């Protein structure tokens, strides 16, 4: 099994209910600014919580990854997360990304992520070194964004008091494929792995 840049661009994620994606889409509309050049909003249907980015994976590696994720979800009962707030990375002055932070049953979320790491790391996917900070990415700013558009978006974010309390039931994880197009990333679900407490 090998990992190549030319392989299937894959990642492991928690998908969102349609109602949550719809609400986040409405939030994106409220935050939109003119001109939009240099601002790349994530399509609402594509908003997700990434647990692990795998990178370029060869086709012969997909089935073993599926088997590993089936084992990783054993003993993990379904749990619930909640959208907490709206944030900017790294900060409002040097804004490059808009995200929603998550709260809720973070203990079970971290347990799930740890089991995923444990089961796929022997396959050549090293564990993440940076701390896990669960968030949903709403948009990214490109290098060609104008200073005016960046400032306008920063001001809108600062003026937006967003604490929706949207709940996200987590009953499964998904193995996803990402296609990078000029219009943005398009995601395809390769497999779903229900959480199951024996």
Structure tokens at 56: 């370029």
The reported pLDDT for the residue numbered 3 is: 40
DSSP state of 174: E
The reported pLDDT for the residue numbered 77 is: 95
Rg (C-alpha) for the chain, rounded Å, is 18
The reported pLDDT for the residue numbered 185 is: 80
**Domains of the chain listed by start with CATH number:** 6-194 (3.90.1140.10)
Q: Full-prediction pTM beyond 0.95?
A: no
The reported pLDDT for the residue numbered 76 is: 95
35 cis-preceded (ω within 30 degrees of 0): yes
What are the pLDDT tens digits along the chain (198 aa)? Answer: 334 345 799 999 999 999 999 999 999 998 887 667 788 889 999 999 999 999 889 999 999 999 999 999 999 999 999 999 999 999 888 889 999 999 999 999 999 999 999 999 999 999 988 889 999 999 998 888 888 888 889 999 988 888 788 999 999 999 999 988 776 788 999 999 999 876
The reported pLDDT for the residue numbered 6 is: 56
Q: How many CA atoms are closer than 13 Å to the CA of 149, on its beta-carbon side?
A: 17
Integer Cα distance of 57 and 123 in angstroms: 11
Number of neighbouring beta carbons within 10 Å of residue 147: 7
Can you give the length of the chain in residues? 198
> CA quadruple 47, 171, 100, 5: dihedral positive or negative?
negative
């Amino acid at each position: 099994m090998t990992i190549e840049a030319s392989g299937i661009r894959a990642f492991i994620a928690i998908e969102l209910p349609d109602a949550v994606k719809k609400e986040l889409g409405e939030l994106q509309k409220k935050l939109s600014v003119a001109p939009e050049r240099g601002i790349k909003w994530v399509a609402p249907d594509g908003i997700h919580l990434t647990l692990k980015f795998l990178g370029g994976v060869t086709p012969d590696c997909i089935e073993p990854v599926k088997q590993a994720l089936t084992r990783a979800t054993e003993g993990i009962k379904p749990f619930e997360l909640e959208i907490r707030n709206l944030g900017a990375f790294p900060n409002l002055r040097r804004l490059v990304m808009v995200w929603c932070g998550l709260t809720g049953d973070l203990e079970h979320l971290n347990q799930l992520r740890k089991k995923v790491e444990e089961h796929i790391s022997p396959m050549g996917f090293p564990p993440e070194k940076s701390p896990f900070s669960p968030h949903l990415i709403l948009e990214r700013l490109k290098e060609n964004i104008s200073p005016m558009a960046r400032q306008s978006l920063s001001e809108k974010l600062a003026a937006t008091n967003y604490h929706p309390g949207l709940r996200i039931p987590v009953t499964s994880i998904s193995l996803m494929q990402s296609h990078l197009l000029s219009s943005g990333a398009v995601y395809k679900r390769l497999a779903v792995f229900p959480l199951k407490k024996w």
